[in-house]
A = this chain, B = another copy of it.
Amino acid sequence: MRLTQQQADQYHEQGFLLLDSLLAPQEVETLRAAFERDARVPGPQVVTEDGGTEVRAVYSSHQRQPEYAGLIRDPRLLEPVRQLLTEDVYVYQFKINAKPAFGGDKWAWHQDYLAWRLADGLPAPRQVNIGVFLDDVNEFNGPVIFLPGSHRHGLVHDGRSAAARSEQHLDPDDISLSPRQLAEHVDRHGMTSPKGPAGSVVLFSPEIVHGSSPNMSPYARRLLIVTYNDTANLPRPTGEPRPDHVVCRDTEPLRPLAAPFSRTLSGVSA
């Protein structure tokens, strides 16, 4: 699947692109079932809420579940990424966030690439993020909020003070915009949050300024985020690298499947 020129232009100009209902409802069911299965696999890749057992995030499910191994190679995801970035990409990070009811992490306004440069020594912002809605996303259940076009000005701040403090640990305050910086960017760019039914997909730039509203609804809201990176842009950590469930080590270029992932699965029950 290729993006139209208009879609590609919109991604480059706005820093994000929403593809409404890209996946079919049955595919979403398949992915949800795989998430439930994967969330029961013990290991450091499962993040639970503070002091609780509720799963808040699972990393690197594409390394364990065939549905997700297929999804990252699905032509509907991988071909647009190759079109926007380069032919040779791999999955740098894969995570599913289950933003819990009545809250959810308040992750401050930030640019992803700053975090990855600080934590992993990622040389350049040569990534495309793909968010896959595993639940309907509306204004009440914690949508991601973008400042459209904010990716076109590079990093707002360079996080040098944070880097000086620690090579490994990343505090949200180290990478978040100050109130004054955010006000300037909101004045210039405004705010918008892509919403849509489960199965919708949003592509977004590693440099776009974004934040995340809390989930005011009584239901968890699951969002899958795959970050593809250029294979010519491998991380160069200066200290101990982050764990391989957070920063994937398999940097072989991905080749698109010939068909949607759901048609390539066999013997896997949804």
Contact = CB atoms under 8 A, between A and B. Distances in A.
A259 interface: no
Contact of A216 (B102, B140, B183, B211): B211
B183 A219 contact: yes
A47 interface: no
Contact of A218 (B106, B183, B219): B183
Interface of A is mostly: loop
Interface string A164-183: 00000000000000010011
A185 to B, nearest CB: 9
Interface string A59-99: 00000000000000000000000000000000000000000
A219 B108 CA distance: 15
A145 interface: yes
B139 A193 contact: yes
B145 A191 contact: no
A101 interface: yes
Nearest to A180: B218
A214 interface: yes
Interface string A202-215: 00000000010110
Interface in A200-239: 211, 213-214, 216-219
A252 to B, nearest CB: 39
B213 A182 contact: no
Contact of A191 (B179, B193, B217): B217
A57 interface: no
Contacts of A101: 179, 183
A150 to B, nearest CB: 13
A106 B216 CA distance: 10
A38 B172 CA distance: 37
B102 A140 contact: no
Interface string A181-205: 0110010000101000000000000
Nearest to A108: B102
Nearest to A184: B218
Contacts of A214: 106, 213-214
Q: Which 4 pairs across A and B sit closest by C-beta, in order of nearness?
A: A183-B218, A182-B218, A139-B139, A140-B191
